[in-house]
Structure 1
Amino acid sequence: MSNLIEVRGLSKSYQKARGMFSRHTVLALSNVSFSLAAGQTLAIVGETGSGKSTLAKLLVGIEQPDSGEILLAGQQLNCADYQKTNHLIRYIFQDAARSLDPNQKIANILHDVLRYSTVLSFEQRERKIADTLKLLGLLNEHGNYYPHMFSGGQLQRVALARALILDPKILILDEALTALDPSLRAQIVNLLLELQQKTGLAYLLITNQLRLVRHIADQTLVLHKGISLDYGDTSAVFENPQHEYSRKLMKSIEY
């Protein structure tokens, strides 16, 4: 099975102030590597500050790595490539409500995504919006709603619609299911699994909900202070973690 994305030796550090006159280097990621194939889910787990969100930002080009490389469909990405490939990797934020413009109707938000990233005509965009809303269990009339008119579960579907409308190959879900209550979370998880089966989408799931990880992730990567401690098939990582931190993590979070 060929990989959609390969990450090789990715590292990232930041300069932070120490007092008024000095700065020090904080290592956010150190030599992290993994791969992800179509139709698979990779879970990234670790405590706050482990580098999970930094990794996501590097993958979508929000920030640039200090070293290492990211290969998308075998082609190495650089700064100039992200504008061309931003439709292939899409990011779902933790707070769907805050990620949507409260002053715009959903149809306008989706039109803007298509207008800036495709050459579709207005009529083609209208059809694409209707098809995407239907795919996610929403009605065409929902396009005339403002974000505050939706429930939490519906908002997450809208956030998914904004990402999926560009037909990406990879979705990054950065704690995107954390704020949902268990019943809504189950609905969205089932929807994600259905979409993955239909389209071959690959998911990079950033979460500490280990019950969810074990349920849907094919592979799991454990990060601690920017370092990859365990990586492999989810069943192997859960049943036989190789690092003491990983063993403590599995025991410390109820799943």
Structure 2
Amino acid sequence: MSDLIEVRNLGKTYRKATGLFNHKEVIALARVSFTLQAGETLAVVGETGSGKSTLAKLLVGIEQPDQGEIWYAGSQINCSEYRKTNQFIRYIFQDPARSLNPNQKIAEILHAVLRYSTVLSFDQREQKISQTLRLLGLLNEHANYYPHMFSGGQLQRVALARALILDPKVLILDEALTALDPSLRAQIVNLLLELQQNTGIAYLLITNQLRLVRHFADHTMVLHRGECLDYGPTAKIFANPVHEFSRKLINSVQY
């Protein structure tokens, strides 16, 4: 099976001011490599500041790498192609309320996504919006709601709708399930697993919820200070992590 995404030696360094004229370099990501195949979930775990969100932002073009390569479906992605790949690689942020315009109805938000990335007519967009809302367990009438009118679980479904309405091949979940209570998280996870089974979508799951990782992810990568310490099948990482930091991280959670 060919790789949907291949990342080769990806690196990112920031310059941080330490005084009026002085700066120091902070390595956010250091020569990280991995692959992601269709229908697969890769979990990226690590402490705050380990480089998890930096990795996600590099994959969707919010940030540009200093070194390394990102390949999608056999072609290398360059800066000019991020708009094109935005349809196939979608990003869900940790807080859906902050990522949605509070002054726009959900229909307006979803129409804008479709206008930007497709050539669908208004009627075709209306049909696509209705199909996507139903797919995620929402009603047609929800299209006329504002974000503040939804519960937390519904709002996460709206965020999923905005990402999935373009039928992406890869969905990046950047701590997108962390704020949900356990029952709502279980509902969203079951929905994501069903979507994956039906469509073959791949997930890059950024989280510190190791119980979720063990249940949800096919492969796991452990980041620490921008470096990849462990990477492989989730069952193998949890049973026999190579690096001491990975062992401490896994052993800190009682199952």
* Whole-angstrom CA distance in 1 between matches of 2:2 and 2:254: 34
Write out aligned runs for 1:46-61 (5 A): 46-61=46-61
- 1:85 deviates by 1.1
Counterpart AA for 1:20: L
Structure 2, unmatched stretches of 5+, are none
C-alpha displacement of 1:3: 1.0
**Match in the other structure for 1:94:** 94
Matches of residues 132-211 of structure 1 in structure 2 within 5 Å? 132-211=132-211
Matches of residues 10-29 of structure 1 in structure 2 within 5 Å? Answer: 10-29=10-29
Query: What is the CA-CA distance between 1:83 and the residue it aligns to?
Result: 1.0
Q: State the aligned residue count.
A: 255
Could you give the per-residue CA deviations for residues 41-81 of structure 1, whole angstroms, max 9, x where no partner exists?
00000000000000000000001111100000010001001
Amino acid in the other structure paired with 1:188: I
Q: Distance in 2 between matches of 1:59 and 1:74?
A: 15
Provide structure 1 residue ranges, at least 5 long, that are not aligned to the other structure: none
Counterpart contact for 1:220–1:233, Cα < 8 Å = yes
Find the residue that maps to 2:98 and give its secondary structure: coil
Identity across the alignment (%): 77
Tell me, what secondary structure is at the counterpart of 1:98? helix
2:202 maps to amino acid: A
Match of 2:240 in 1: 240
- Which residue is 1:109 aligned to? 109
CA distance in 1, matches of 2:199, 2:142: 23
Counterpart of 2:190 in 1: which secondary structure? helix
Query: In structure 2, what residue type is equivalent to 1:227?
Result: E
Alignment RMSD: 0.7
Query: Are residues 1:217 and 2:217 paired?
Result: yes
Question: 2:224 corresponds to which letter in structure 1?
Answer: H
Cα shift readout 1:198-250 (whole Å, capped 9, x = no counterpart) = 11000000001000000010000000000000000000000000001100111
1:210–1:254 CA contact under 8 A, matched in 2: no
Contact 1:110-1:162 within 8 A present in 2 as well: yes
Moved over 3 A (4+): none
Find the residue that maps to 2:90 and give its secondary structure.
Answer: strand
The letter for the 2-side match of 1:131 is Q
| AA matched with 2:2 | S
What is the rounded CA distance, in whole Å, between the counterparts of 1:217 and 1:195 in structure 2?
Answer: 15
The answer on whether the counterparts of 1:136 and 1:157 sit within 8 Å (CA) in structure 2 is yes
- Could you tell me how far 1:254 is from its partner in structure 2? 4.0
Per-residue CA distance 1:121-141 (angstroms, 9 max, x = gap)? 000000000000011011111
